[in-house]
Structure 1
Amino acid sequence: MVVKVSMNGDKSRSKALKIAVGLSGVESAALKGDDKSQIEVTGDGVDAVKLTSLLRKRVGHAELVSVADASGDKKEEKDETKSEQPPNYIPYYYQAVPSYGYVENYGPSCSIL
């Protein structure tokens, strides 16, 4: 994901990188762009909204530019090699029906007995 942050100097850049790396699931964070105002974060299960809100609170204005799955290209290549098969649908009468409030065991808590 890429987050654009308004950073005034090296101190705010350093602070923003520390915040980004401190989140759970972050593998790496790097400055990006011509004026080094964008932070590129890679990792698994990183919360983009939480990162953006932390940067807004502690550094300054932050804007979420893009969120992309880094392994998306690999998945697309695998999907192209597979042959297209129609999905297997289960007929309606074979699907499980949820039971709402039905109790099979009539114990001492039953008010009818």
Structure 2
Amino acid sequence: MKNKIVINIQTNCEKCRTYAMKEAVKASGANSVELQGENKNRMVVIGEGVDAAALTKSVRKKIKNASLEIVQQLKLEGK
């Protein structure tokens, strides 16, 4: 089952956003990672078997200000 994980990142620095994205891409099971929102302050990770708490913790180690907002299961298409 695929999960959608939304993490709030509080940073205005493009370099910090890049660090956060790289950390999310390294997560086991992550299929896609994108920044959303007006200030690119929401990172959306879609994947299968991604540990949301561990991912948030690793992003927080890189950029200091990250918080888990939403974890939801996505419906599989065609079912």
Q: TM-score, normalised by structure 2?
A: 0.86
Q: 1:65 aligns with which of 69, 72, 77?
A: 69
What RMSD in Å do the two structures reach over aligned CA positions? 1.5
Contact 1:25 1:45 in 2 (8 A): yes
Contact 1:7 1:60 in 2 (8 A): no
- Pairwise mapping of residues 74-85 of structure 1 onto structure 2 (< 5 A)? none
Structure 2 unpaired stretches of 5+: none
The residue aligned with 2:19 is 15
Match of 1:24 among 28, 45, 51: 28
Measure the CA separation in 2 of the matches of 1:20 and 1:69: 18
Tell me which amino acid in the other structure corresponds to 2:24: A
Cα distance in 2, alignment partners of residues 71 and 46 from structure 1:
16
Q: Which stretch of the first structure deviates more once superposed, 45-54 or 56-65?
A: 56-65
Query: What is the percent sequence identity of the aligned residues?
Result: 38
TM superposition shift of 1:56: 1.1
User: Who is 2:46 aligned against?
Assistant: 42
| Runs of 4 or more above 6 Å deviation | none
Deviations 1:48-91 (A, max 9, x none): 0001101111112111110011126x5xxx5xxxxxxxxxxxxx
Of structures 1 and 2, the one with the larger relative CO (CA 8 A, separation 6+) is 2
Give the C-alpha shift of residue 7 in structure 1: 1.6
Counterpart Cα distance in 1 of 2:22 and 2:74: 22
Number of residue pairs matched?
Answer: 75
1: distance between equivalents of 2:35 and 2:70?
15
